[in-house]
Structure 1
């Protein structure tokens, strides 16, 4: 075969070479593959639509730019992340090195607690920062531990201290509810909450924060910087302590409302049992407090607390901590308060004791203190329910009128205090029985008659009730008038007091000497400044209910002064010997016993036929006195039986006049309702008073008539306790010489 002398290559070889150049499925084609002949054959590149020359055209160029930027950002991010991890690691190690032993973290209070016992040794009130004692995650009831985890951090045992999912969820909720990302829900784990409770390791310093409240507020601020600091601190906690140890700190330090810190104190406070004995309903109620302790405290609103507990029970059921049967049972049997917590008795009394005791052992104590008091929970309940009964029946709904009550024994031991119609449970409320100073009105008159009786007058002596005008220096003529606008002529001292006659009381005060009246009242315990003019006899001076009730107790006990007291003894927790104690409130004698017995008899007539008839207690002797001030701004009834002395005040905080209310009206009714409940089950005892039928007829001194001229005293027997004062400056008063 002729040709160019070259041998034609076999066709099959060419086909194999082309086939090799094509990419096979699933295999990357080889570029520039060298054939068996040693000649490189370039791989054919197919340009894309719209492309140009080079490696991919314009899109390939931009792709390479983006790839370069991405690599740069990735390297920067990796470098930044490395720096952040390094910083977090250093911060975590620093915090780790500062964390103390677990035991030092359990009780973080800066002040101590005060536990108050009533006269029978039962707890009735708590003040300060109550700490029930250290508990652990292992010693509390398992259902309580589960309730806390289910409510606060269901992934607690799975995260490393911070939950990114929880934070993201909280931010989403906050934004959805129209708040800033860090306001409202925080997404904090229990570990992060412990970090807050420990204030990230910053101790309380009075040079930096004026009060502990400011310190705690600063510790709980939800700023971005504080959130950032929380992370390494939480990691340090997780590295230092076990999960149960972190939970132990939380169970001991968190605030639970009502002044209770930690679940043990809260369990004792609300249920009267330890945290190891609570059931599922009680555990759910305690765990429900964590969201808002003051709002959900069962002592503030039990129904609201129970509703919150039902939410916690549902969470526990959903997370498998409660079976269907347990959930149904717990939901149908909500937690209830203990008897002491439910009573919430003695709030005003407890505040008074805290204020009257030494500050370093009460209001500012750094120790745990136990105070035994004179308080009687039964009497307190009688006072509160009696007051409510009268207001519900006799006062129109929505009235802003207020009332206060004090009940004490004859030696000054205070048994109950009602400082207002409602006590919200928050300590430090305005106590109208102790703090308010109001004019006493005619409730002051017994001290005028006490002075006269001690100076020799008798209950059956006469005094003139007739128009009277006294020239008061600097004020001009002053003419007192009776409430009835009538005058009754010559009346006995007993009738004058029973009818609360003003002109008779002023005449008698002027006869015996205002200074003497003032001294007797002060010696009986009225420490407020008393008026110097003739209106002193009509109670124009301002006094507290506690003061004047204590002064009446002095009349009941036979004429000795009384200092009202509520504290019996005070001791530190664990100590047997008290740091201080009080044996009683009796002081020195003010008037003679005979004068006191006559005065008590006269005051019983106030109840029998005078202005205090509504205070009668069937089958029981009662003595007392009404009081109504100018324009009816204040209405009083102070009285006593052989067992107890009680004072009632009624009025408005802003001095608005009472509408149709006098001391012989609602205050006397309140007194009767309250004292009727107080004396339930007590045998009737006679009052220590004279029996007029056994006394000899009045024998006047030589030259003096049987019934002396109105306003003139008799020089009969009795009254020897003011002798020294009489010798020095009041002889002229005894004989009726006008008061200087």
Structure 2
């Protein structure tokens, strides 16, 4: 056992250890504070060397604050410039809506434009020297001296604004204006001005002065939908920019500041007043003398009168513009100015418009129908005419493209074609015309009667409803829908029990493409309207390949059978009004429930066309059927279109076309078109011969009437 006394003797020894630790801590703290004091004394001794008093202190404080605020400003400016860096990283100037497209018809004649009016094909050294000087004198006299920001001009503009002076020069340099045109909106904010300044410096770093000036001339908005001086010169003065005079150049240069205010077609007096100020700037800057501008002052520029081209195929151009933008996006074409060669035939376009509008005008009130649409292609799918409504000026809604309506019985060719393909039937085979039901749905024939045993051809010609429903039960409705989509119908629609009777959504364009399969020996024939696209300078962008392989959709036997049946529709069925003497016409009528839509879709050996009549608000018509107005308009157009051309046969149809020529299709009734003798002027005869050479058309027995011996008659049998 441990001695208790011994344990008590150890405790004083422990107390001595704690005292030692306490002493060490006290001494350490003392030494730390002593060292800190000595360090602070040395710091004071060192900083005393930089102690400034008096005037020197004032200078130091100013510089110190300047550096501080400068650093803060630099950080702020960098933050504000981040959007500019983002824009530069994207590296794109143009947007899709900024495309400018010039459209040509199939022969190369301009028929219209879409998008902005722009032209960047003229080099800077080809532009008039006084146009360049007038622009620099008014917009940026120190353009070739500054680095993108004209500090002197900015200060002067600020001073002028402070004094209330209405100066003709702005504070932004020409490069800053270009940066705004290329990248920014027109909003007036401090942030945008900073971004604009950064972009201007970037432009100056990456482009030469001449390149910047050329971009400015090409991209500046000049009013009236025109971008660039080249487009503006043509629009306002009807001239190439190379041919404008000094007065016209001054007027163009005056529009850069406020094009909507100084455009001559908006306010000619204001435009001339502005041009006079530009002439004064030319003299003040030393570019020209007062004597050199006197004539321009006395004879100010006068713009030409411009009226809308009502003869342009506007519905087609709207559609073709969308197609052109799609091609541009797919090919990745650079730039925003293009020339597009289309398939449109302006003569056929005029015939189509006349056929549709005249029928609506003459009989539309009787049938309570107000709208119609038509699309015409050749048998290879090239669109020759497109009518999207009765009046483009009143409604730009394209009923040939955008609107999808039920086709009614004009859908039946898909049903019969699938039956021929799948079941091995032929037109002469008989089928029972009797009541048929799918569940609780029991369709009825027009007239509510039944014919018993009837051939497929007769049932098709009479547009009997029970027969295609019976065929759809045998083939399956899904296969019919699949065939219709392979043939050209692009809109999706539900596969319902009533599909065989045309309860689907289709467009006039797609119906034309689908019927073109029958006209083109069973090959897929999608409609197309563009054959070539180039830049304004002629560099190729895209070209249609007519020799591209085509998918076979229907066998030749099925095509022959269907063509025989569609011929019977015209000769002895619901489409008898489509008959044209001397021309093999084929087609199918279509009428929907409550007479809301009426169709006739058909073709000859030369052209394919689909016609729709109805009302935009789906209001029922007054018993309008496909065999009435649509067929009449179709026949009227085809009668026009088949004059003075070679009439081609139709595959599978036993018909020998009669080759005849008439003088003026527009002046000859359709029923007499094939019987009237030719009576052409020499000019018209030469035009037809030129068309024959270009289109490989055979023209026979052409005998122009003329007293002029200098205009020989063309030879027969070309």
**TM-score category (smaller protein):** 0.5 to 0.7
SS of the aligned residue for 1:624 comes to strand
Task: Give how far 1:643 is off.
Answer: 1.0
Distance in 2 (CA, whole Å) between partners of 1:289 and 1:386 is 45
- Structure with greater contact order relative to length (CA < 8 Å, sep ≥ 6): 1
CA contact (8 A) 2:254 2:275 kept: no
Alignment of 1:271-670 (within 5 A): 274-278=240-244, 306=265, 308=267, 312=271, 334-336=304-306, 346-354=316-324, 356-357=326-327, 359-361=329-331, 372-395=341-364, 401-421=370-390, 431-454=398-421, 455-466=423-434, 468-472=435-439, 477-529=440-492, 531-568=494-531, 581-583=544-546, 587-670=550-633
CA contact (8 A) 1:146 1:316 kept: no
Closer, same or farther in 2 for the Cα pair 1:401/1:354, shift >3 Å?
Answer: farther
Closer, same or farther in 2 for the Cα pair 1:555/1:132, shift >3 Å?
Answer: same
Task: Give how far 1:405 is off.
Answer: 2.8
Distance in 2 (CA, whole Å) between partners of 1:484 and 1:290 is 70
User: Structure 1: which 5+ residue stretches go unaligned?
Assistant: 1-82, 95-103, 173-185, 205-214, 298-303, 694-740
Within the candidate set 109, 113, 120, 1:132 is matched to 120
Distance in 2 (CA, whole Å) between partners of 1:166 and 1:677 is 71
- Deviation string 1:481-537 (CA, Å, 9 cap, x unpaired) is 223344444443333222222123323433455455344434323344455444221
Closer, same or farther in 2 for the Cα pair 1:169/1:334, shift >3 Å?
Answer: farther
Distance in 1 (CA, whole Å) between partners of 2:546 and 2:462 is 39
SS of the aligned residue for 2:590 comes to strand
Task: Give how far 1:366 is off.
Answer: 5.2
Task: Give how far 1:641 is off.
Answer: 1.8
Aligned length in residues: 542
Closer, same or farther in 2 for the Cα pair 1:128/1:243, shift >3 Å?
Answer: closer
CA contact (8 A) 2:438 2:497 kept: no
When normalised by structure 2's length, the TM-score is: 0.59
Closer, same or farther in 2 for the Cα pair 1:579/1:526, shift >3 Å?
Answer: closer
Task: Give how far 1:596 is off.
Answer: 1.9
SS of the aligned residue for 1:637 comes to strand
When normalised by structure 1's length, the TM-score is: 0.57
Closer, same or farther in 2 for the Cα pair 1:521/1:584, shift >3 Å?
Answer: farther
- Deviation string 1:437-488 (CA, Å, 9 cap, x unpaired) is 332211111122223444443334433334x23133xxxx111122334444
Aligned to 2:94: 110
CA contact (8 A) 1:135 1:251 kept: no
Which protein is bigger by CA-based radius of gyration?
Answer: 1
CA contact (8 A) 2:519 2:651 kept: yes
Distance in 2 (CA, whole Å) between partners of 1:372 and 1:379 is 17
- Deviation string 1:626-677 (CA, Å, 9 cap, x unpaired) is 2222233333221112111112234445544445433333333443344444
- RMSD of aligned C-alpha atoms? 5.6
SS of the aligned residue for 1:589 comes to coil
- Deviation string 1:226-272 (CA, Å, 9 cap, x unpaired) is 789999999xx9xxx99999986653321246875312244567888
Distance in 2 (CA, whole Å) between partners of 1:281 and 1:682 is 51
SS of the aligned residue for 2:375 comes to strand
Aligned to 2:36: none
- Deviation string 1:158-191 (CA, Å, 9 cap, x unpaired) is x98579799879999xxxxxxxxxxxxx976477
Aligned to 2:177: 197
Distance in 1 (CA, whole Å) between partners of 2:415 and 2:618 is 26
CA contact (8 A) 1:390 1:673 kept: no
Distance in 2 (CA, whole Å) between partners of 1:345 and 1:144 is 38
SS of the aligned residue for 1:649 comes to strand
SS of the aligned residue for 2:587 comes to strand
